[in-house]
Structure 1
Amino acid sequence: MKPEFENIPLIKNEEKKRFEIQYNGHFAFIDCKEMSRQIALIHTEAEPELSGTGAAAAVVEKTLMYIENSGKKLLPFCPYVFAFIKKHPEWKRIVDEKFEGYNQL
C-alpha cells in the first residue's frame, strides 16, 4: 500500500453494504455481503478521479486486514480482489478453503 493511504481509515458502510476509503474527496470501495462466518467481496471500484493512485489496492488491502481481524473467511468473488490475492499470496490464508477458485490462487 502506498504511504499516502496508510493513515486513511477504512469505513464499513452498512447502509451501502460496502467497505470504503475516502481520498481527496473521492471514494474507492468494495461491495460486500457479510455472513456469520464469511465475507464475500463482490465488486471493487474507485471513482475516476482516483485512477492510477493506488486507491483500489489500498481499499482491498485494508478490507483484507479487517476480514482477518474479524476472524471470518474471505470469498473473493470480485476479479480485482482475486487478482490481488494471486499477486500477494500471503493473503490466501484468509480465503475460505471451500471457495470454488481456491486452488487457482
Structure 2
Amino acid sequence: MLDPEIHDNVELKRYQLPVDGEVAIVTYNLSPPNLMITETLVPQRLEGQGIASRLAKHVLADARARDLLILPVCPFFSAYIKKHPEYADVVHPTYRGILGL
C-alpha cells in the first residue's frame, strides 16, 4: 500500500517524506524495468522512528505496482529486503541471489 505522505520527486530522482520540518529521502536511478536504490537518508534527529522502513515499504509497493525490479545498492535497502523476503518478487534476480532470497 502506498503512503500518501511520500512523494516521488521525479526531477530529483528521489522519494521524499517530510517529517517535522525535515525531509527523509530514498534516492534512485530509474532505467525501466530496473529501479536502482542508491541511498536512504533520514535526518539524524529523526532516526530510530521507523522512517527508513516506512520509505522502503512505499518504494517496494510502488515498484511492484509499476512492474519495476529493485536493484538494492543501498545497504539499508538490502538489509530491509533480507528481513522482509515477501518482497523478493520485486527484487532483480541477480540481487535475489546476492541476498539469498
Structure 2 residue runs of 5 or longer lacking an equivalent are none
> What SS does the corresponding residue of 2:55 show, helix, strand or coil?
helix
Kept in 1, the 8 Å contact 2:6–2:55? The answer is yes
Q: 1:1-105 alignment to 2 at 5 Å?
A: 8-99=4-95, 101-105=97-101
| CA distance, structure 1, for counterparts of residue 82 and residue 54 of structure 2 | 16
Query: Following TM superposition, by how much is the alpha carbon of 1:101 offset from its aligned partner in structure 2, in angstroms?
Result: 4.9
Q: How many residues align?
A: 100
After TM superposition, the structure 1 stretch with the greater mean CA deviation from structure 2, 91-100 or 42-51, is 91-100
TM-score by length of 2: 0.87
Residues 93/50 of structure 1: CA separation in 2 closer, same or farther (3 Å cut) = same
Judged with a 3 Å threshold, the aligned counterparts in structure 2 of structure 1 residues 94 and 100 are, in CA distance, closer, same or farther, namely closer
Secondary structure of the 2:95 match is coil
Deviations 1:21-80 (A, max 9, x none): 112222111110001211000110101121111111111111111111111111011110
Report the AA paired with residue 75 of structure 1.
L
Percent of aligned pairs with the same amino acid: 26
Kindly tell me: are residues 101 and 80 of structure 1, through their superposed partners in 2, closer, same or farther at Cα, counting changes over 3 Å? farther
The CA RMSD over aligned residues, in Å, is 1.9
**Residues 80/101 of structure 1: CA separation in 2 closer, same or farther (3 Å cut):** farther
In 2, Cα distance between the equivalents of 1:37 and 1:29?
21
CA–CA separation in structure 2 for the residues paired with 1:62 and 1:100: 19
Unaligned runs of 5+ residues in structure 1 are: 1-5
- How far has the Cα of 1:7 moved from its partner? 5.4
